[in-house]
Amino acid sequence: MEDRPAQGAAESPFKGKTGLQRLLNACRYSFHGFASAFRHEEAFRQEVLLAAILIPIALLLNVGGLGKALMVGSVLLVLIVELLNSAVEAAIDRISFDQHQLSKRAKDIGSAAVALSLINVAVVWLLVIIDKF
């Protein structure tokens, strides 16, 4: 099956960029995404603060490289999931502020994903620290 848009659908004008221009655009869009999330999302700001505390602690703890990687990775995963959750919420709000069962379901599922990523941090950190002793 070919990878082409449905009949009548327009291709994004940004899809034609290649090489260095595409990389520069991607970096700029990513920076704007981080800035927007930090500016508009309280949960993201709180999780960035958590990351700013936990990542240096992980790097300073007397655990092996794999333990450090797991600890840092679990914290970064929270930020990734929060960014995706915020994107879903923004897209739903763009469509409509009306209450709808599917909108609620999508937002609740995104929230559950964030909760699981936070539980993952606790479990990973606990297991790495317990393994050290």
Q: How far is CA 51 from CA 47, 56, 90, in A?
A: 6, 8, 23
The pLDDT score that the predictor gives to residue 1 is: 46
Structure tokens, 46: 């709180």
The predicted pLDDT at position 8 comes to 54
Distances (CA, A) of 12 to 4, 9, 15: 12, 9, 6
- Look at the block and give the residue holding tokens 């999330």: 37
Q: What does the block give as tokens for 31?
A: 């920076």
Q: 72 is written with which tokens?
A: 């840092």
Per-residue confidence (pLDDT) for residue 133, from 0 to 100: 77
**From 41, 42, 82, 89, the catalytic residue:** 82
Q: What's the structural domain count of the chain?
A: 1
State the sign of the Cα–Cα–Cα–Cα dihedral 67, 68, 69, 72: positive
* Angstrom distance (rounded) from CA 51 to CA 70: 13
Query: Is residue 98 in a domain?
Result: yes
Q: What is the CATH number of the domain that holds 89?
A: 1.10.287.3610
Query: In what helix (H) or strand (E) does residue 24 lie, and over which residues does it extend?
Result: helix 19-40
Q: Does residue 2 have an active-site annotation?
A: no
Structural domain boundaries, residue 102: 42-132
In a domain, 6, yes or no: no
pLDDT per residue of the chain (133 residues) written in tens, 0 to 9: 445 555 556 666 666 677 888 999 999 999 999 999 999 999 999 999 999 999 999 999 999 999 999 999 999 999 999 999 999 999 999 999 899 999 999 999 999 999 999 999 999 999 999 998 7
Lookup result for tokens 């327009």: 10
Q: Is 106 exposed, middle or buried (0-12, 13-18, 19+ CB in 10 A)?
A: middle
Residue 125 lies in a domain: yes
pLDDT of residue 9: 60
What predicted TM-score, i.e. pTM, was given to this entire model? 0.83
Query: What pLDDT, on a 0 to 100 scale, did the predictor assign at position 94?
Result: 94
Domain contains 27: no
26 within domain boundaries: no
